[in-house]
Every structure is written in C-alpha cells, then in structure tokens.
C-alpha cells in the first residue's frame, strides 16, 4: 500500500487517458461563448443592412408611384402610398419590422402652393406604419398634424386668399430641411423628396448576453422622379384608409388591385 501511494504521482503523470476529453471540456465554454458572440454580431450587422435597404427601397418606390394623366402630370393616391408601405412591411416580416419598429414616410417639398407667395420648403404630409410610438420611434425631424389646419402651419396665406378643402393639410415649414445637423436633406426647387425614417428595436438571438438593448435608426431619401402634382394626395372611390401617423398598427393589410 505504501509503495502504491509512493508511485501514484509518477503513474498519474504518465497516464494520458481521457486527455482529449478533458481538453474539450475546458475549451467548450470558450468556444460556445466565442461562437455565440460571432453569431450575434453577424445577425446584428445583417439586420442593420436589411433596415438600410428597406429605407432605401421605400424612398425609391415612393418617388416613382402615381397615376400619370394625359398632360404628363402624376397624381399620387393613398392607395399608392399603402402599396409601397405594404411592400416594406412584407420585406421586414422576417424581423417583425412593424411590430418592433416604426416607419415614417415624409414628403419634403419645395414648391409654391396656391396659398404661398414663393416656393416654400416644407414637410407637406407624412404616412406611417408600425406599432411603436413616442420619442425615438416617431419622426425625429418634424411632424405634420393629422387634423385640419388649413394654411396655418405653412406659410401665411396671401392677403385675401380663401383656403379650399384641398389645402386643409398645409404641412409644416422647415427652411433647413430634414435630417441630422450637418447632414440635412433639402428638396430642390419646384419638386419634392421622399424622406424615410425607420426606428427599430433590435431583437437579439441571445437576449442581453452579448448585446445590450439597442435601437437601429436609418434614414433614406430620393428626389421624386416624375412631374408630380404636389397639391394633395388624392383618394378616389373606392377610398383607401390613409396610413396617417396618428395610427399605430402593423400597416395596410390590402394592396392595390390593378
């Protein structure tokens, strides 16, 4: 017995049975942690890329839609706006974009309405989808009202001008345009820009293990591509439900039937 105990340290030093299993057990937590972190960061980067593309696609699509009349002027309809918003919603369904986020589409225009004395930079109208609300989700760069305001939010009406029904949403004058300080977007004279803002709560794979709760924010803008009628958004019969920004839902459930 004494000899056995005396030789035990030497025998243990020479015994390499189970060494691979022991090394694997020691390395496994490190491998799992590094692998999980890599998956999380890759997923985060992919979601960032997707939301950037959603914003660009929506701004691009909104700059093109409308019905062109025989005189070459394009009329934008509520159903056209709902179509492009629905397209963005469908693109974002894999990450539940409208459940965990908010999309704001703004028409930044630099035109002279019939109640203006000169061309005026203004957010004329906005449309939104997404259930998130409040600071950090609703537009960060100015908002239009959804109630009738006649011309009181835009330029003061010329003397003697009587506002018509088409002028009830005059919008909000914004001489410096939309966007972050130092990177403002302004509409060129006599046309408009479709400005998109997306705010989204990132949904991580592994909770807060690798990434703290964070909000993804992207903007995009495209100049309107055609000769658009900027006086109003039309809504011919059968009328579509406008996706105004006082509504907080996942977005339009129907699209235009051509």
What does the DSSP assignment read for 64-105? T-SEE-TTS-EE-BHHHHHHHHHHHHHHHGGGTTTTSEEEEE
pLDDT at 158: 44
- Tokens representing 144? 């239009």
pLDDT band at 146 (very low <50, low <70, confident <90, very high): low
The pTM assigned to this predicted structure is: 0.82
Read off the tokens for 123: 């957010």
Least confident of 56-65, 125-134, 143-152, 248-257: 143-152
Given a contact cutoff of 8 angstroms between Cβ atoms, the answer to whether 54 and 88 are in contact is yes
pLDDT at 153: 36
Q: Are 113 and 81 in contact (CB under 8 A)?
A: no
Local confidence band at 160 (pLDDT 50, 70, 90 cut-offs): very low
Among the listed ranges 87-91, 148-152, 225-229, which one has the minimum average pLDDT value?
148-152
What is d(CA 138, CA 127) in angstroms, rounded to the nearest whole number?
Answer: 11
Task: Supply the pLDDT for residue 4.
Answer: 59
pLDDT value for 161? 46
Structure confidence at residue 198 (pLDDT): 97
The residue count of the chain comes to: 258
| Cα distance between residue 186 and residue 108, in whole Å | 7
Q: Which two tokens stand for residue 105?
A: 């589409």
């Amino acid at each position: 017995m004494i000899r056995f105990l005396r030789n035990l340290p030497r025998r243990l030093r020479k015994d390499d049975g189970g060494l691979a299993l022991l090394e694997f057990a020691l390395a496994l937590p490190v491998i799992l942690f590094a692998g999980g972190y890599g998956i999380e960061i890759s997923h985060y980067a992919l979601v960032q890329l997707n939301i950037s593309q959603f914003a660009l696609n929506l701004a691009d699509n909104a700059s093109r839609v409308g019905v062109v009349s025989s005189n070459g002027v394009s009329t934008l309809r509520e159903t056209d706006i709902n179509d492009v918003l629905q397209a963005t919603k469908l693109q974002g369904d894999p990450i539940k974009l409208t459940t965990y986020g908010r999309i704001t589409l703004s028409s930044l225009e630099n035109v002279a309405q019939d109640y203006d004395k000169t061309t005026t930079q203004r957010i004329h109208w906005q449309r939104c989808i997404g259930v998130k609300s409040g600071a950090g989700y609703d537009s960060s760069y100015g908002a239009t009202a959804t109630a009738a305001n006649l011309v009181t939010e835009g330029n003061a009406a010329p003397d003697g001008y009587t506002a018509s029904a088409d002028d009830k949403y005059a919008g909000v004058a914004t001489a410096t345009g939309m966007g972050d300080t130092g990177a403002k977007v302004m509409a060129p004279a006599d046309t408009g820009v479709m400005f998109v803002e997306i705010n989204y709560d990132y949904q991580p794979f592994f909770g807060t293990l690798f990434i703290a709760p964070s909000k993804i924010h992207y903007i995009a803008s495209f100049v309107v591509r055609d000769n658009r009628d900027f006086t109003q958004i039309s809504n011919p019969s059968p009328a579509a439900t406008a996706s105004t920004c006082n509504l907080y839902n996942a977005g339009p459930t129907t699209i235009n039937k051509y």
